Structure 1
């Protein structure tokens, strides 16, 4: 991967939302992401989730057809400058992996399912780059399946939350036949108020100076209010205007009758649910006025990607934060990182590992002991659990799953059935990274600043590795014994690990 992006080079993001899929293509212009092309299709993936959260075939086919059309626009964008993220619908789908496997046959890169708080962080990043920076702001994004709330200053979020309420999900729950009544609308508002009660106190105590909304629901409501003369002089959404809009909406008895000027046909079906959620947000959080921003998740994804090229990778800050939170031994982590990098450099070409694999190994090496904060016994399992289930800024669920497996398998016995688990999650590349991390940790068992013996790792082929130790191995009896024990573990994962020395080994 390049270490930098020059002006005029392209970036792209695909945002697979619960209501709509979006494609944005942009060029980098003096450090700013300038959009040059975009596509958006209302897929309504969340509408395809049944009561058991299984995504039906029709919704899957809508999504795959849309992705096929998007791919046709990506020929000029290198794959390392593309990110594809999925949000609440695929977070919820019990058979999401089935859809992802089908999509993998179409897409040039894997889909990243991002957690709710990570979605919120990226939304804030997108919004904050499209507005004048100033006072503390509250950003609200109403999606198809979830709604994100972020308080931040300039480009940094302070609080991030994701609540399980969205315009598609609430349309299914409260307006399934398209009928509109005050009773049903109020039920949707009450449900949204209940969701908001989980965060209201903390958010009100933190406070904000301005409120900004993004997403199609807020855009549609604002557009209607402007056309009706019910916005303020800055064309912001006001609570007074929302109350008037609610009264006008309730004059219709069915969504097919809704005829607000400028409202797109594909937005009509989810307007009552979206308005009910927005109405509850204004009410519970005491909002009087809300500005609109075109910045959204896809813009945030591209700015986050740009940061990775500029060595401003949020993932590395998150790793350092986790080490601090769990009081990991920084000196030992850096020893293991250094050794892991040497092993990776020896093996990456033969094993077909790339720079992203190296980054994953490095981050796992920094985090491999965080489970010690819970207990020494089985700390690799505790660390794996923390990595699997924590909200870690910058990481997709797949990234966290990979890190979790690396930490889970960095010590103790390897079972052959766990090999199959790792292969299922990350293929043979993740298997190789697990074994490289094991060797790096083992070579640093002494936890000493004393120099390690010189070593070289030669990968003869995928199933035959040779570690050569330089010098008199009699100086390292415990290390040699540990390596000989490790040969047995490697065998369980179908790797023949040979231990050699340029001097005689007894």
Structure 2
């Protein structure tokens, strides 16, 4: 795959649809270094719109869409291929997330990716690591509106990633919904956060780190208050002693409306107690003495990850290679299937609405189509679909994984109408078309012969697919003929025509 492009003369953009705030960062590549030219942030508090059944209410959706309409003006000068929009915990949790995403995509005219918690953690570390010098292991902590990410890494490489379901907005609703500040409410919030942390504390303490770094709004707010109070010098290091002193200061106020701490912004008052409780629990559970701060965050990580995709260092390619090794996939055979699938795609492109990223998806599905054989040969396509849907795949968004899972899960055997509908819902007619091409490519390599496969000629005309092979070639391949006849029957069941000769 060739993705090298000159980016120095164009803008790049990352949009982060967070549970508390929406962020946008627009940048330009300057001699290999990403320079932020525009950065905006708006408090949307999407997570506050989640009801007890995890449905995102209309008011929260409207707040988000209004914000995105304003962002859209800033994004007008950015080429779509140089833009990435990611969504985090609130939309991971929301049962009606697809509804909001569809509306957001209409506003922005660009896909929105809901990323998994560990993928969010990885991207946060990428963003933070770009701002830090020196070596040694680092613990990076990012407290968001709905989740908190923890990453141990060395230089630019994350080693341990985790995302816990606790954030300043969700904890505000849970423990400080009435705005009252009390020792009892604060202790309950700290205890709840420590219970969440108990699931990862042992592994993180065993891994170890030399320095701890915080990022994003909650930790920045606490750091600013501590600096404004004169407790910390210019470096803004937060200490365990500062946390104890800040607790006493918070408890001098009965309600969040009374919080008048130096440096605390108005829109941070309501969520300050919850954010503080999470930081306090982190200090206690992980035995922190000090916590530094970095301006790097998810959006900076998205920008660097996006740049990597254009410079042939796409983390998703590394993930595919890792999966091939872990599940003992024959990479040479997978590559032959991928080459055939891409050749068929090139021939059918005029008849299908295919984007460059669709070709990449098809290639990766071909490279991983046998992943399920590590579990069982019987029904291996189903096992493969499950693995790809539920594994943590670095670099892949949730929609990416869903589409990859569907392609692998439906690359053989008969397809039911509900499975076709799942393809159409996840990726439209283009994904259905990719699935058909992958099925044909796998079928043509059924014998696993290492001999070169003569490139078949494919013609697609509406619902009709026609394959043509060199004269006499099929006569010596009865297995391929039988496979094609069976596939012909499968196509007919979908209202399609497959002819071959």
Structure 1 CA distance for aligned equivalents of residues 495 and 425 of structure 2:
16
Structure 1 residues 289-308: aligned runs within 5 Å: 289-308=290-309
Structure 1 CA distance for aligned equivalents of residues 349 and 311 of structure 2:
23
Structure 2 CA distance for aligned equivalents of residues 28 and 329 of structure 1:
38
Deviation at residue 343 of structure 1 after TM alignment: 1.0
Structure 1 residues 101-116: aligned runs within 5 Å: 101-116=102-117
Q: Which runs of 5+ in 2 are unaligned?
A: none
Structure 1 residues 364-403: aligned runs within 5 Å: 364-403=365-404
Q: Deviations over 1:294-319 (max 9, x none)?
A: 10000100100000000100001001
Structure 2 CA distance for aligned equivalents of residues 113 and 374 of structure 1:
28
Q: Which runs of 5+ in 1 are unaligned?
A: 501-506
1:431 paired to 2:465? no
Structure 1 CA distance for aligned equivalents of residues 494 and 65 of structure 2:
36
Structure 2 CA distance for aligned equivalents of residues 494 and 22 of structure 1:
46
Deviation at residue 100 of structure 1 after TM alignment: 1.1
Other-structure match for 1:475: 476
Other-structure match for 1:283: 284
Deviation at residue 494 of structure 1 after TM alignment: 2.9
User: Residues 94, 6 of structure 1: CA spacing in aligned structure 2 closer, same or farther, 3 A cutoff?
Assistant: closer
Structure 1 residues 53-64: aligned runs within 5 Å: 53-64=54-65
Structure 1 residues 31-180: aligned runs within 5 Å: 31-180=32-181
Structure 1 CA distance for aligned equivalents of residues 475 and 54 of structure 2:
60
Other-structure match for 1:337: 338
Other-structure match for 1:462: 462
Structure 1 CA distance for aligned equivalents of residues 9 and 134 of structure 2:
25
Other-structure match for 1:355: 356
Contact 2:222 2:276 in 1 (8 A): yes
User: Residues 38, 442 of structure 1: CA spacing in aligned structure 2 closer, same or farther, 3 A cutoff?
Assistant: same
Contact 2:365 2:408 in 1 (8 A): yes
Structure 1 CA distance for aligned equivalents of residues 418 and 286 of structure 2:
51
- Segment of structure 1 superposing worse, 99-108 or 52-61: 99-108
Deviation at residue 496 of structure 1 after TM alignment: 1.4
Q: Deviations over 1:41-99 (max 9, x none)?
A: 10000001011101111101101100111001111100111111000000000111111
- Segment of structure 1 superposing worse, 385-394 or 408-417: 408-417
Contact 1:348 1:354 in 2 (8 A): no
Structure 2 CA distance for aligned equivalents of residues 131 and 306 of structure 1:
19
Structure 1 CA distance for aligned equivalents of residues 216 and 39 of structure 2:
15
Q: Deviations over 1:128-147 (max 9, x none)?
A: 11111411100000000000
TM-score by length of 2: 0.98
Q: CA RMSD in A?
A: 1.2
Other-structure match for 1:487: 488
SS state of the match for residue 313, structure 2? coil
Structure 1 residues 307-322: aligned runs within 5 Å: 307-322=308-323
Structure 1 residues 416-427: aligned runs within 5 Å: 416-427=417-428
SS state of the match for residue 73, structure 1? helix
Q: Deviations over 1:402-449 (max 9, x none)?
A: 001100110011222321221111100000000000001000000110
Other-structure match for 1:237: 238
Structure 1 CA distance for aligned equivalents of residues 454 and 8 of structure 2:
46
TM-score by length of 1: 0.97
- Segment of structure 1 superposing worse, 468-477 or 441-450: 468-477
Contact 1:41 1:66 in 2 (8 A): yes
Structure 2 CA distance for aligned equivalents of residues 375 and 347 of structure 1:
33
Deviation at residue 2 of structure 1 after TM alignment: 5.8
Q: Deviations over 1:98-157 (max 9, x none)?
A: 111211220121110000000000000000111114111000000000000000011110
Structure 2 CA distance for aligned equivalents of residues 375 and 66 of structure 1:
48
